Structures are given as C-alpha cells and as structure tokens.
Homo-oligomer: A and B are copies of this chain.
Amino acid sequence: MAERIRLGMVGGGKDAFIGGVHRIAARLDGEFDLVAGALSSTPERARDSGAALGLDPARCYADFEQMAQAESTRPDGIRAVAIVTPNHMHAAPAMAFLKRGIHVICDKPLTATMDQAQALAAAVAEAQALFILTHNYTAYPMIRQARDMVARGDLGQIRVVQVEYAQDWLTEAADSGNKQAEWRTDPERSGAGGAIGDIGTHAHNLACFVTGQKVESLAADLQSFVPGRRVDDNANILLRFDGGARGMLWCSQVAPGCENGLRLRIFGDKGGLEWGQEDPNYLWFTPFGDAKRLLTRRGAGATDAANAVSRTPGGHPEGYLEGFANIYTAAAAAIRAADAGQTPDLSLLPGIEAGLDGMRFIRACIRSAQSNASWVAP
C-alpha cells in the first residue's frame, strides 16, 4: 500500500453535515490523511474545528486562498483538497487549488450559478490537476451493477425511466438555528434551485449514469409549498432522453415519511430494474416474462464493477458511507496515476462534465417552470 494522500478540506467545520461524511469517506479505505483545513469562514470556529480534528494549528487556515498558497509551497503540502462548503463557495476555492496543481474533490451541485460553473469548467480544462465531483450515489455497488446490466442489454432497449428523490425535512419552515436548512433554502448560497439543486441533481445524475442516456428535453413544474420559501421544495418533471427513453423525475423536501428516498426504476423491452437508496444492497430485476429476482451485493450475478466497490460478503450491509468512500478511493487511484504521469481511469468518476450536466438540468428546470412547464433542452 502506497503512502496515504495528504488531504486538505475547505468547509466542514463544526455543525456541518457533509464535511464529516467526506472525512469518513476519505479515511475508510485508508487512502487519505487529512492534514490541513480552512474549515470555517469564522476564524475561531476554523481553529476549534481543526483542533477537534487533531490538525496541526499551523495548517488550520483562515481562508482557502491562504491555504492554497501555503500548502502549495510546503514540501509536505496537500496533494488534494475536499471542498464541502455551500454551493456558492465551490468555484472560487476549487479554482484556487486547481491552478496550483492540487487535485480537487468537490461536493455537488457544481456551483450556485451557471456563470460560476463555466468559469470553473474553464479552470478545470487548463488545470494540471484532477477535478472530481462527489455524486456519491453512482458508487453504490448495485448501481454499478445496474449500469452494467443496462449496458450489456439485460433490459433491452430502455423505454421508461422513473426516478425520484423524496425527503421530508423541509416540510415546515426551517428554524433559524438550522444551518443546513438555512443555506440550502437561501438562493444566494444554494443557487436558484432548491430541491432540484440539492437532490434533484442527484436523481438526474443517477438516471443518466445508469441508463447511459442524457436528458434532451424536460418540462418542469416547480413548487414552493412552504410559505415564504424562496426556492422550490417540490418538483414534478417530465423527461425525454436522447436514447429514446421517456420518464419522470420527482424530487421533494416536503414529503412526510420520506427520509432520503432516492429511487430509480428503469424499464426496457426485455426487462425492468428497481433500486432504492435506503436499501442499497438490493437490486430488483425482472427479465420480461420471468420471475422477479432480488439481486444482492456480492450475490449471484454480481458484476465485476459491483464487486470492485464492495468490501463485505453478501448480507453484511454496506451503506451510504461505503458508497461515498468508493468515490474517494477511486479518486485516490486516479490521483496516484496522475501524479505518476499515467492516464488516470476516470470512466466511472463523476467530474466537471457531470457537474455541468447538473447545472444545465437546474437551469432547464427553472426556465421550464418560468414558462409554465414547457419543454426546455438542458
């Protein structure tokens, strides 16, 4: 096993949710060591959060710019940085590190605005470093298997795609003390999209990842059900895919009883698949005319791509953190390859293109909704 990759983090201080997830994901397979951070825009919180994580105080920076500069000149400086700030603070730090040759692992959606996304895309194009976007749900073993099954024709020609992502945590107006709810419903920080940006992009990305098709047109009916809410909290969307599939995407943050209900169903002329994120070790497959199968992780028929991101035998459930770690571990391999002057295998790693697709999806939803759910090409 090679030496661990030195990792920095922007954002992810105390009370953050996704920062902790990234840290576990980075640690789980032993590929990264977190050694530096600009963990908060509040200096005291940045310091305290760093101390709580056991970081060297000298490497707890007040801001990402300072961090990028300092780390890029240290001999033991970070080789990669995780960016886990609210969406409006993705592009600037990402560009700061990329231009110094430090690999970037960035949370999604890509940015808060399309302008930021395009600027970032330009920076990625010029950079000597990798840009990886944590569309973590693509890395569940059974999703990899589903993708394989579609690709090799188990479902035949794909006709229908039903994808949804439903939550209930924003059913009521957020308390002012809930930092997660605050920034995610603030268009300045989250971007113009609410539910469509936060979770709709995951659903969109997953459907495309598994089917291998892109959305060529969509018609979106967006709602903000909670009084005073400034972004959408529910979206009903018709989809037309470039490979001929038709479908719907529902995302909601106001659906009581739904915790993190990302669910994908795909139907072709030879079979159907169904998967739900809350029970990720299962994949339902029905070859048309035959009995439904409950495929399991590491079970009969597991594909190489599924086994490659699987750690435990069937029946020993892997979950969200393992899926997230799969992104980090693949990122580590890509980073090691790149740093060794080899061509990294990015075929299953979401990057700037997936990020741009997500931003185009958000933009199309908003444009469509503004014209009464007319068809818009992303």
A interface list, Cβ under 8 A from B: 1-3, 17, 20-21, 23-24, 27-30, 51-54, 155, 159-160, 162, 164, 167-169, 171-172, 219, 221, 223, 225, 234, 236, 238-240, 246-248, 250, 252, 254-261, 265, 267-272, 274, 277-281, 284-296, 299-301, 311-322, 372-375
Q: Which residue of B lies closest to A54 (CB)?
A: B1
Contacts A160-B252, A162-B164, A317-B319 supplied; 18 other A-B pairs, CB < 8 Å: A24-B29, A159-B223, A159-B225, A169-B313, A171-B288, A238-B373, A248-B248, A248-B250, A256-B271, A256-B286, A257-B271, A257-B292, A279-B279, A291-B293, A292-B296, A312-B321, A318-B321, A374-B374
Tell me the complex Cα distance, A234–B259, Å: 29
Given A279-B279, A322-B321: A311 touches B234 (CB 8 Å cut-off): no
Contact of A291 with B295 in the complex, beta carbons under 8 Å: yes
Contact of A256 with B278 in the complex, beta carbons under 8 Å: no
Contact of B259 with A267 in the complex, beta carbons under 8 Å: no
B-chain residues with CB within 8 Å of residue A300 when the two chains form the complex: 289-291
For this complex, 19 residue pairs linking A to B, each with C-beta atoms less than 8 Å apart, are A1-B52, A17-B313, A27-B29, A160-B252, A162-B164, A168-B272, A172-B288, A219-B219, A219-B373, A225-B269, A234-B246, A256-B270, A257-B284, A257-B286, A258-B315, A259-B296, A261-B315, A317-B319, A318-B321
Given A28-B27, A238-B221: A288 touches B256 (CB 8 Å cut-off): yes
Contact of B289 with A292 in the complex, beta carbons under 8 Å: no
- Shortest CB-to-CB span from A261 to chain B, Å, is 7
